[in-house]
């Protein structure tokens, strides 16, 4: 009898443990998506994301519920995060079939097509998103970005203006508008936008840098120098600001100052070919053609297709 009771107890315990294990494993699609969202860092709640782990969880969710809208969307976004554009586009298009006017799906699919260099399709999707939700400035910026990539600066300017009107406290919106205006040939209006961006956020390194470049182009050298130095005070390792400042000195025939500044640019990023190129131009202006030639050689070692360096290298080859 005791043996029978012990055996029965063991069988019941095994059944309970098995049932418990089964219950733990049988997660719902919603639970799997919620867990996947943590790994994808949806909402930017964590310091980093693990998209590959998120993909595994979203795929499990879709096995439980094949037409789950969020699992499909997030799976597409996770593939986009790791650069798997084919699967990203496939899943995001599926999400749109489930919910045709889903703004987040339209936006994500637009970003995927933009990365895939299909700017026409990206512009179509961002345009639809803006039609459905015209009060979202981020959507207008995305539309402006892809229109600018297509060289359609007038409609890009219009899109950026709408973003800036919707939220006048974001410096990036003014910067994007300024860049489009500058590309369109309206440097004065571009300067106004960069000045607004700096007024919104005085310590924005890129706003100060773009403003410095614009002043430089206008020949307003004192303000350009001030803005380049301000950008460097914000980020002392910003090689492009040293290059801009060095070029500014070069345009004023301050060759020694240009060399000193461009040497720092090279030190900050030795693998950046443009730093070496402009250091070469400064040495050339100072009359040191041999050192200039070596700078152009280094530039071409880092970027063999860079045509300005090719031209300078060929001009000095055999002459130093």
Q: Domain locations in the chain?
A: 27-99, 118-201, 235-320
Among 50, 100, 58, which Cα is nearest to 76's?
58
pLDDT of residue 257: 98
Q: How far apart are CA 174 and CA 197, in angstroms?
A: 5
Q: If you ran DSSP here, which 8-state letter would residue 99 be given? A: S
Q: Per the structure block, which two tokens stand in for 123?
A: 């512009």
pLDDT of residue 53: 95
Distance separating the N- and C-terminal Cα atoms of the chain: 106
- CATH number of the domain at 27-99, please? 1.25.40.10
pLDDT of residue 270: 95
pLDDT of residue 9: 55
pLDDT of residue 8: 53
Sequence-distant contacts of 55-59: CB under 8 A, at least 24 apart: 55/79, 55/82, 57/32, 57/33, 58/32, 58/33
Among 220, 142, 139, 206, which Cα is nearest to 178's?
206
pLDDT of residue 48: 78
Say yes or no: do domains 118-201 and 235-320 share a fold. yes
Matching CATH number, 235-320, of 1.25.40.10, 3.30.420.40, 3.30.360.10, 1.10.3720.10: 1.25.40.10
Q: How far apart are CA 112 and CA 117, in angstroms?
A: 9
Q: How far apart are CA 95 and CA 232, in angstroms?
A: 45
CATH architecture of 118-201: Alpha Horseshoe (1.25)
Q: How far apart are CA 205 and CA 202, in angstroms?
A: 8
- Model pTM score: 0.83
Query: pLDDT 10s per residue in the chain (320 long)?
Result: 544 555 555 555 555 555 554 445 578 999 999 999 999 999 887 777 899 999 999 999 999 999 999 999 999 999 999 999 999 999 999 999 999 999 999 999 999 999 999 999 999 999 999 999 999 999 999 999 999 999 999 999 999 999 999 999 999 999 999 999 999 999 999 999 999 999 999 999 999 999 999 999 999 999 999 999 999 999 999 999 999 999 999 999 999 999 999 999 999 999 999 999 999 999 999 999 999 999 999 999 999 999 999 999 999 998 88
Q: How far apart are CA 93 and CA 267, in angstroms?
A: 46
Q: Per the structure block, which two tokens stand in for 55?
A: 């993909």
Q: What is the CA radius of gyration of the chain?
A: 28
Q: Report whether 63 contacts 25 (CB < 8 A).
A: no
Q: If you ran DSSP here, which 8-state letter would residue 222 be given? A: H
Q: How far apart are CA 160 and CA 193, in angstroms?
A: 11
């Amino acid at each position: 009898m005791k043996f029978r009771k012990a055996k029965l107890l063991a069988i019941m315990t095994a059944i309970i443990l098995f049932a418990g294990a089964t219950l733990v494993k049988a997660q719902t699609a919603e639970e799997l998506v919620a867990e996947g969202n943590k790994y994808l860092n949806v909402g930017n709640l964590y310091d980093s994301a693990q998209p590959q782990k998120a993909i595994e969880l979203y795929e499990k969710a879709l096995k439980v519920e094949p037409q789950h809208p969020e699992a499909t969307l997030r799976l597409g976004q996770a593939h986009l995060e790791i650069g798997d554009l084919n699967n990203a586009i496939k899943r995001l298009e599926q999400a749109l079939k489930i919910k045709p006017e889903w703004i987040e799906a339209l936006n994500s699919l637009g970003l995927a097509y933009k990365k895939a260099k299909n700017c026409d399709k990206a512009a179509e999707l961002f345009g639809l998103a803006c039609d459905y939700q015209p009060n979202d400035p981020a959507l207008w910026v995305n539309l402006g970005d892809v229109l600018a990539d297509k060289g359609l600066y007038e409609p890009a300017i219009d899109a950026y203006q709408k973003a800036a009107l919707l939220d006048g406290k974001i410096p990036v919106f003014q910067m994007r508008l300024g860049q489009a205006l500058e590309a369109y040939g309206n440097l004065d209006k571009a300067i106004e936008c960069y000045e607004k961006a700096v007024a919104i956020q005085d310590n924005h390194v890129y706003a100060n840098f773009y403003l410095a470049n614009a002043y430089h182009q206008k020949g307003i050298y004192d303000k350009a120098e001030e803005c380049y130095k301000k950008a460097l005070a914000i980020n002392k390792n910003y090689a492009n600001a040293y290059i801009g400042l060095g070029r500014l000195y070069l345009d004023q025939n301050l060759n020694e100052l240009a060399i000193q500044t461009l040497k720092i640019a090279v030190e900050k990023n030795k693998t950046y070919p443009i730093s070496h190129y402009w250091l070469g131009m400064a040495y050339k202006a100072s009359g040191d053609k041999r050192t200039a030639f070596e700078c152009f050689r280094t530039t071409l070692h880092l970027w063999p297709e860079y045509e300005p360096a090719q031209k300078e290298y060929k001009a000095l080859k055999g002459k130093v």
